[in-house]
Chains A and B, each alone.
Chain A
């Protein structure tokens, strides 16, 4: 395989502690190496440019049935947005729900090497993997959802952590899943009764277990197994005014639990799109609604076993999609736009609704502010990751715009003064106007590379340019010494000059030149034999599932043709 020497760029690497030094970076046979290990490398001149490891996205909805529903029921999302086939690239389409091809190409152009699909309904895991397989270039994994699963609800009602863990290990193998995702714990199941679980203490109908028990039980089961990623939660009452207390109650479930794994992961709970969960007040009106980002961030700062991602609202017309069925119903009642709702037997549910975050409304402006505030209030960029909960708060292609807002007070002031119609109310009801902090490029590398890689248990592969790591290198046309205009940040990080992925050049001179060699990551967790769980599985499939057990598994040869399997031994 090829050798590359990326010369003379401004390098940012949190793991190596490099803060913009002008230095050379070397790739050989798919991995990062010392420059001395190269014999006859192709040279890439990165002078005047910024060099980082390939970026890692910890939470995006990019593959599977609800994404596909979004594409199908929003033809208008593709209107005037198709790009014809060119070179090795196939046709691209879509904006908030892009085609799988555009998804891969856009991530590559933004310098990403790994993306985690954040919610895989187990029954439809095959669909998720088919789309992952067809998404070029980027390595991906998918998190099956557990927070409303009948097995989990029954085991955790009886505090059976070992059985929960055995079931998790089995389901991860069946679905070729990567970790434990929880969406509106208990609330989505309650939605089957037309109800919800608005707080962590509301018992799930019939199952009589609370969200608090589900969250804590799944954290314990996750650590029992020692999985690479920690438990990954979207807590109850997403998007509701006053929900920050529910969020704090959820985060507190992690108190006293220490990480137990062999992957260098130091946290036990990841809270996703925290922006949607940091609201005060009693309604969306500017006289009541307020930001509670400071209160939530202060709690996160005070605990060292929690990570989170932002979920920044980008003020676009987008498509919301979540396993939080009741929330999507709530949204369609608000905006009267089309709605898809589905139940996934025994496991979960989902809804999809288009949504316009209009800068002409107070609430969208306040949501924008809260997401940015969380990033700025957080004291530890290694535990704070940049997302837009794609496509829920905005499309992932807006990440570079989020970088700009985080990195430039002037850009934020411009939003408040010139873009938001109710900028003054937003200043008044949120903290954004009082914050001077500007995220540095080093911190950006922590929030988009080293941090998420570590939280996913992939710190030995991604997030750094250290010799031995995957050969994922992004070169951005951004000169930290001369660039002054915040727009340069957005422009440069939207289109990397080069992306080397797995040691191969996939973006050259800003153009996608290869479809790469994408892999699907999944976690194969060995557990002791558990006759009770085996019996329960057989019984549930016989009595309730509409499919046979034999038709449930994601068979690797077809659905996961290029796997990267992480093995975990939880038998001890």
Chain B
């Protein structure tokens, strides 16, 4: 595993768009070549080296490349976008679109991430040790293909609209979440270990949502169908199980109608 370290040296005037910060773009390159990759600031293009000091070099492939961002990049967007392998470690906070459409590999952010982390991702792993913003693992505006695979773990809280149009994979939030959880969800699992506010599972077609704490206001389209004892992400307990959203269409498979499932821990 070869490591490339990026040290932020200048705070951009506008938010930096840096989808080149990923193992796929760094693999096979020396520090100088990496510093030469482009980033956008507004409508202008700059070399990455304008904003970061680059040390080390990429491995032969993305899988053999580790990217370490040694500092705060809360004004840098698209870190790890569409990455397929390897790893990214952000030692501070990161801006929007961390790991958007990522296919594989691992991203760890020691601080917070802004909105749209893991948007449309199909594989890989995102670990946020701080809090995550809105639209975590959601779909791009207008798109019906939200998170489709992989795992997102958030140690703190997450914002609103997480897992919108989610179709697969897993989102685990240790803390609380804001409104709109799993809207239009058509697969995958969302686990909220704290509390949720309202509009949980609105227009949910299938998939699973677990809430360990309270839901302030339940959606009217969910029906209580019984209680179950299950182990969820290492925690066993008794959950009230609801099916829904009853106002939404539901597919039939093997003679059975498939519903979204909402589990609320006792």
Interface residues of A (CB under 8 A from B): 73-77, 79, 84, 336-338
Residues of A within 8 Å of B144, CB to CB, are: 337-338
* List of 5 A-B pairs having minimum Cβ-Cβ separation, nearest first: A76-B143, A75-B142, A76-B142, A75-B141, A76-B140
Judged by a CB distance under 8 angstroms, whether B249 is at the interface is yes
Nearest chain A CB to B104 CB, angstrom units: 19
Are the CB atoms of A75 and B140 closer together than 8 Å? yes
Where chain A touches its partner, the secondary structure class is: loop
Task: Give the residue name and chain of the B residue nearest to A333 (CB).
Answer: B249
Residues of B within 8 Å of A77, CB to CB, are: 142
Nearest chain B CB to A70 CB, angstrom units: 11
Interface residues of B (CB under 8 A from A): 43, 140-144, 249
Residues of B within 8 Å of A84, CB to CB, are: 43
Interface centre among A75, A76, A337, A338 (most CB of B within 10 A): A76
Cα distance, A35 to B227, chains bound together (Å): 88
Residues of A within 8 Å of B43, CB to CB, are: 84
Cα distance, A71 to B142, chains bound together (Å): 10
Cα distance, A456 to B206, chains bound together (Å): 51
Cα distance, A75 to B43, chains bound together (Å): 20
Are the CB atoms of A73 and B249 closer together than 8 Å? no
Residues of A within 8 Å of B140, CB to CB, are: 75-76, 79
Cα distance, A337 to B249, chains bound together (Å): 12
Are the CB atoms of A336 and B249 closer together than 8 Å? yes
Residues of A within 8 Å of B249, CB to CB, are: 336
Cα distance, A84 to B43, chains bound together (Å): 9
Residues of B within 8 Å of A73, CB to CB, are: 142
Cα distance, A76 to B101, chains bound together (Å): 13
Given contacts A73-B142, A79-B143, 15 further A-B contacts (CB under 8 A): A74-B142, A75-B140, A75-B141, A75-B142, A75-B143, A76-B140, A76-B141, A76-B142, A76-B143, A77-B142, A79-B140, A84-B43, A336-B249, A337-B144, A338-B144
Nearest chain A CB to B16 CB, angstrom units: 17
Residues of B within 8 Å of A76, CB to CB, are: 140-143
Q: List 17 A-B contacts (CB under 8 A).
A: A73-B142, A74-B142, A75-B140, A75-B141, A75-B142, A75-B143, A76-B140, A76-B141, A76-B142, A76-B143, A77-B142, A79-B140, A79-B143, A84-B43, A336-B249, A337-B144, A338-B144
Interface centre among B43, B141, B142, B144 (most CB of A within 10 A): B142
Task: Give the residue name and chain of the A residue nearest to B141 (CB).
Answer: A75
Cα distance, A84 to B143, chains bound together (Å): 23
Task: Give the residue name and chain of the A residue nearest to B45 (CB).
Answer: A84
Cα distance, A337 to B43, chains bound together (Å): 34
Task: Give the residue name and chain of the B residue nearest to A85 (CB).
Answer: B43
Cα distance, A311 to B223, chains bound together (Å): 46
Cα distance, A336 to B167, chains bound together (Å): 14
Nearest chain B CB to A558 CB, angstrom units: 31
Residues of A within 8 Å of B141, CB to CB, are: 75-76
Interface centre among A79, A84, A337, A338 (most CB of B within 10 A): A79
Cα distance, A45 to B92, chains bound together (Å): 59
Task: Give the residue name and chain of the B residue nearest to A77 (CB).
Answer: B142
Residues of A within 8 Å of B143, CB to CB, are: 75-76, 79
Cα distance, A532 to B3, chains bound together (Å): 84
Cα distance, A336 to B145, chains bound together (Å): 13
Residues of B within 8 Å of A337, CB to CB, are: 144
Cα distance, A338 to B165, chains bound together (Å): 12
Nearest chain A CB to B97 CB, angstrom units: 12
Cα distance, A84 to B144, chains bound together (Å): 26
Nearest chain A CB to B218 CB, angstrom units: 25
Nearest chain A CB to B183 CB, angstrom units: 13
Residues of B within 8 Å of A74, CB to CB, are: 142
